[in-house]
Structure 1
Amino acid sequence: MPYASNGGTRLYWRCDGKRSLPALVLGNSLGTDFSLWDPVLPRLMRHFRVIRFDMRGHGASDAPRGAYTLAQLAGDLAAIVDAAGLERFHYCGVSLGGMVGMAYAQRDDHRLDRLVLSNTAVQFPEDAWNARIDRVMSGGMQAVADTVLERFFTSAFRARGDVNLERVRETLLSIDPDGYIGCCKAIRDMRIAEGLGAIDVPTLVITASDDQSTPPARGAEIVAAIPGAQLAGLPGAHIPMTELPVQWSDTVLAFLAPEGELSELERYDIGLERRREILGRDYVDARLAARTRFNARFQEMITQLAWGTIWTSSRFDDVTRRIVVLSMTAALGRWEEFELHVGAALRAGVEAQMIEEALFMVSVYAGVPAANTGFAIAGKLLKEHPAGDPHRAS
């Protein structure tokens, strides 16, 4: 495991993604760990080299007994940035992670390019934190788990029994009480509001309409204090990256990785590389070589629209988007396109079982004859790619 160290405290961190991409560091909330970001990680990795870490007192980081401070937690972030070798980076923190981001941004030696503060605040009533500390001291993490989860998520989300809710619950129950209490004291005693005016990087503050812990008004206070800060409001509660991963990611990416207004040529170039990535370079280049005066503009339009706009969106991962295309082309009987995309999917490592499942869905919603033809075409291609045949003897 990679660890950084600050004042003798070991801090767990990990890096995911291409080193050629800009760096994005994520800071978790009180009562969670680096796995909090799992629902949005694949999408963020399309745009960034993502560095996650466990806040002091949480997860695989040390949990020394005693009160922590926001300055200390900001120092932990600085140690992780050094360990990861980051010269510059974006930072996004939720709740306590946002407080740490604000404290770090007030340091003279910060390396921030942009700052995202999600569902956070700069001050709370002291007695509320003292009451929570007393409950954990007397009853452990179980004593506060239900109350915390009620604040983390809306009642509708909790009623659905989403697997991510259970993951967050188990993480919360596994937190070392000493570490949790130490961070509670850091929040209770923080004094970062006075320095907000000194934050000198582009900042986005995200609030959620049903957030009981840090209501929208608390985010508005931060926006008013940080020069040039922007405000974005979402539905949901305190942990929107779990409950609303697409809306939350849309908001963050629009701020950190805006597409801007691309020219037709730029959109074409982006689309052409994406088309080659999905369908295969040889196939695409052969189609380009076969262009005529009659269809050249059509080919350009398809590359710009389908590949330069739709297929470059990171809302779907590539496997999901491939399965959607296979289902639609089978349902509509577009068998040439279906065969093309089955072959491309198999070459890209999509498992045959995923294609099989898509065709089961086609059989229910578009009819057995369509699924039957789809199975025949896919089965033919599977014989040419035996590693992907689920019925081939091992």
Structure 2
Amino acid sequence: MPFATRDGVRLYWRLDGDDAAPPLVLLNSIGTDMALWAGCVPALAGRYRVLRIDTRGHGASDAPDGDYDLPMLAADVIAVMDAAGVDRAAVAGVSLGGMIAMQLALDHGERITALALICTSATMDAAAWDDRIATVRRDGTAGIADLAMDRFLSTGFAATHPAEAASLRRGLIAMADAGYAGAGAAIRDMAVIDRLPGLALPVLVVAGDGDRSTPFAGHGERIAAAIPHSETVHLAVGHLAPVEAPQALAGALIAFLTRDAATDAAAATLFEAGLVNRRRILGDAWVDASLARRTDFTADFQAMITRIAWGEIWGRPGLDEATRRLLVVAITASLGRWEEFGLHVRAGLSRGGFTRDALKEVLMQTAIYAGVPAANTAFAEAGRIIAELEGTGS
């Protein structure tokens, strides 16, 4: 088993993936060990040299008595990176791991290329953690097991995955009391929030929508606000995202870490080009309303269709615009996509994209090739739109 030793404390670590791949350090939450990341490793190790570490006091690492602090735990990570031959790395950390990651970037910025801060916080209730530490030092981790488990997993996941919940509970109770209490002191005493605006590296904040321990409101949002250039991703998970949604989390990390400035600039150019076509075909009012309705869940889809459908396809020179408009009308009628059909009929008629006679001929031909019922509904939908346009003088 590979160990690094710092100040007489042994720290367990493990490497997965190709030695030539870019390195990615994964840090666990309080009360768990590197196995927290087991579900993510297969996807991540295909792209990265994945270095997992059992935080001091956790897993196979030593658990000395006394209070730990974030600078100490960050220095532990640097010692492990040195032992593993990793000069610079991106770091992803859950909860306590995210706090250590922030401290790493603040104290050892030259060694850190990017941060992914997952279900974590830069400010916690010191009094609550003081009480928890006292309970663990008096009663052991069993004394806070119910509290911790209630905050580890979302209610739905715990109910449908009893084996995973039981395994987490066993691991928590089995860990060294001194390790949990020492790490709790690091959480209690952390002082990073005021220094975060000085971070210049890429930062991803991952929020769990079912996280009751460090909900985005009051925790992740404060990190995002303190680091203006940071990005935020929301996942439908509780506090331990790698357990509840390993593939979704791995996908978010890969998407974040593989982007670069040139790629972002190219995507922005394609988006703007597609937006020009989209506005010309559908009108500013409709496009502005559509963009205003974007959410974290739909924004990537909206960006994709603007770049590809409106930029690439509608921008091709092989067909004139009226033909493309009428093709969309015929296809959406044939497929029964009436919302999209109505959108393009309205836009085509009101913006001079095609005539009513052209629309009629397209629907007549649709009746032959896609069926009379489809054309029947299409004529009814189009007739309703024509009546509305006549009523407004359009």
* CA-CA distance at 1:44 after TM superposition: 0.8
TM-score, structure 2 length as denominator? 0.64
- Give CA-to-partner distance per residue, 1:312-355, whole Å, 9 cap, x none: xxxxxxxxxxxxxxxxxxxxxxxxxxxxxxxxxxxxxxxxxxxx
SS in 1 for 2:87: coil
Question: Would you tell me which structure has more helix in proportion to its own residues?
Answer: 2
SS in 2 for 1:211: coil
Partners of 2:241 and 2:141 in 1: CA distance: 22
Corresponding residue of 2:141: 141
Q: Is the 8 A contact 1:47 1:257 kept in 2?
A: no
Query: What's the counterpart of residue 113 of structure 1?
Result: 113
> Which structure 2 segments of 5+ residues have no match?
267-394
Aligned equivalents of 1:168, 1:258: Cα separation in 2: 34
> Which has the higher Rg, Structure 1 or Structure 2?
2
- Aligned AA (1:252): L
User: TM-score under structure 1 normalisation?
Assistant: 0.64
**Residue in structure 2 matched with residue 20 of structure 1 by the alignment:** 20
Measured in 1, the distance between the counterparts of 2:81 and 2:223 equals: 25
Aligned to 1:82: 82
AA of the residue aligned to 1:73: L
- Secondary structure (helix, strand or coil) at the match of 1:190 reads coil
- Opposite residue 28 of structure 1, the aligned amino acid is N
Deviations 1:50-80 (A, max 9, x none): 1001000111111110001111011101111
**Per-residue deviation, residues 260-301 of structure 1 (Å, max 9, x unmatched):** 69x9xxxxxxxxxxxxxxxxxxxxxxxxxxxxxxxxxxxxxx
Instruction: Quote the offset at 1:110 in angstroms.
Output: 3.3
Q: What secondary structure is seen at the aligned counterpart in 1 of 2:196?
A: helix
**C-alpha contact 2:13 2:51 (8 A) present in aligned 1:** yes
Aligned partner of 1:275 in structure 2 is none
Paired residues of 2:71 and 2:107 also in contact (CA < 8 A)? no
Match of 1:235 in 2: 236
Paired amino acid for 2:62: D
> Is the contact made by 1:141 and 1:173 (CA closer than 8 Å) also made in structure 2?
yes
Are residues 1:202 and 2:202 paired? yes
Letter in 2 for 1:253: I
Aligned pairs (5 A) from 1:55-204? 55-108=55-108, 110-204=110-204
- Letter of the aligned partner of 2:215 in structure 1? P
Contact 1:199/1:227 (CA < 8 Å) preserved in 2? Answer: no
Identity across matched positions, percent: 40
Q: C-alpha distance in 1, partners of 2:174/2:58?
A: 9
Q: In structure 1, the residue corresponding to 2:211 is in which secondary structure?
A: coil
* 1:201 partner SS: coil
2:223 partner letter: I
Distance, in Å, in 1 between the alignment partners of 2:197 and 2:231 is: 14
Per the TM alignment, residue 138 of structure 1 is displaced from its structure 2 partner at its CA by: 2.2
How far apart, CA to CA, are the structure 1 residues paired with 2:195 and 2:8? Answer: 28
> Within 1, Cα distance between the matches of 2:45 and 2:163?
22
Give 5+ residue unaligned stretches, structure 1: 264-394
CA distance in 2, matches of 1:87, 1:33: 23
SS in 2 for 1:62: coil
Determine the structure 2 residue equivalent to 1:335: none
